[in-house]
Amino acid sequence: MIINVILGSTRDESLGRRLFKYLLGRQDEFEKVNDVKFNFISLSDYNLPFFYESMAPMDNPNRVLKPNEQRWVDDMRKADGYIFLVPEYNHSFPAVLKNALDFLAFEAKGKPAKIITYSNNSRGGQFSYPALLPTLGQLGFFTLPKPTSVRNVDKNFGVDGNFVKDAPGMHGDIKKLNRAFAESAFYSKLFKEHPFKCDASIYDK
């Protein structure tokens, strides 16, 4: 059972990197408690170009991709569930994440996605979640309701991924993030063990 934890920003100074490092530092704990494997992914590791293919991936079963592009697609295919760490850019989500998703076809169909939004203010990146939903829906992700919002990341997490001294939101963030990972693990197991199957004959008259 594999769940990809995806940092949806490639900026070197992204606040998400602080959150990403914090979660990565707790990987062993998360895996032991939830009995799954969490695969931490940073989009910058794939160096994806702007999507350029002449056909939509869903319409092109004979795609030939470059090695870095194929690695992204394969890593998403191998996962049983997903956790997206998503900031808010101008009331939406980052273009680099949209571009990465545009490389996908059916790799995530029917698999659950948990969204964790974050920001440097009290809104917690709330507008990125509804903006992301149509894209995830088109690709067949089963997006779990109600995102987890992490507020004031710059005031709570240091660049090393640890909580800063006397972080005001520490206890609340720990509780929310623990629940988010547990929720993702629960639904990933549920969906894998009970995949949706439709017998078309039941509709025959």
Q: Write down the domain spans for the chain.
A: 2-202
The CATH class of the 2-202 domain is alpha beta
In this predicted structure, the answer to whether residue 199 has a pLDDT above a threshold of 80 is no
In this predicted structure, the answer to whether residue 205 has a pLDDT above a threshold of 60 is no
Task: Render 73-136 in DSSP notation, one character per residue.
Answer: HHHHHH-SEEEEEEE-BTTB--HHHHHHHHT-SSTTTT-EEEEEEE-SSTTTTTTHHHHHHHHH
Give the pLDDT of residue 204.
Answer: 59
Could you tell me the pLDDT band of residue 196, with boundaries at 50, 70 and 90? Answer: confident
Find tokens 């273009």 and name the residue. Answer: 95
Mean pLDDT of 135-161: 97
What whole-number percentage of the chain has pLDDT above 90? 93
pTM of the model: 0.94
